[in-house]
Amino acid sequence: MAHRAARLAEAIKEELADIFQNELKDPRLGFLTITRVEVSSDLRYAKVFLSVYGSPAECESTLGVLERAQGFIRSQLGRRIRLRHVPEISFRFDPSIDYGVKIARLIDELKKDGASEQPE
């Protein structure tokens, strides 16, 4: 069963990326990346984790747009993926990319500080 949920999660991820790019035309929708999709073992629920490029206000605006468009998104998924029941979708913000960027910036700062402290 876990294999089927993983396959469905990947299919949902691919189809959502296409829907976000080609079907949703809301200007409040920011630049977003689907980082992962988790589908419950009974295939009834899907958590979609997103990373949004921009300020925290833009992240909240993007999540709001997606929540309001949830019915449209589910209907599009139902047309594209043949299932008896289309999973209930919930959108979550995934801070992992922002965290990785922050860590990389800190490492770069440490390298610069270490290079300036070394005597010549």
Span 45-98, pLDDT tens digits: 999 999 888 788 888 888 888 999 999 999 999 999 988 889 999 999 888 777
- Whole-angstrom Cα distance, residue 91 to residue 22? 19
Q: How many angstroms separate the CA atoms of 63 and 38, rounded? A: 17
Closest residue by Cα to residue 90 from 42, 60, 45, 56? 45
The pLDDT value recorded for residue 117 is 66
Q: What percent of the chain has pLDDT over 90?
A: 43
pLDDT of residue 112: 84
d(CA 28, CA 36): 22
Other CB atoms within 10 A of residue 70 CB: 13
pLDDT for the residue 1: 53
Q: What percent of the chain has pLDDT over 70?
A: 95
CB atoms within 10 A of CB 87: 24
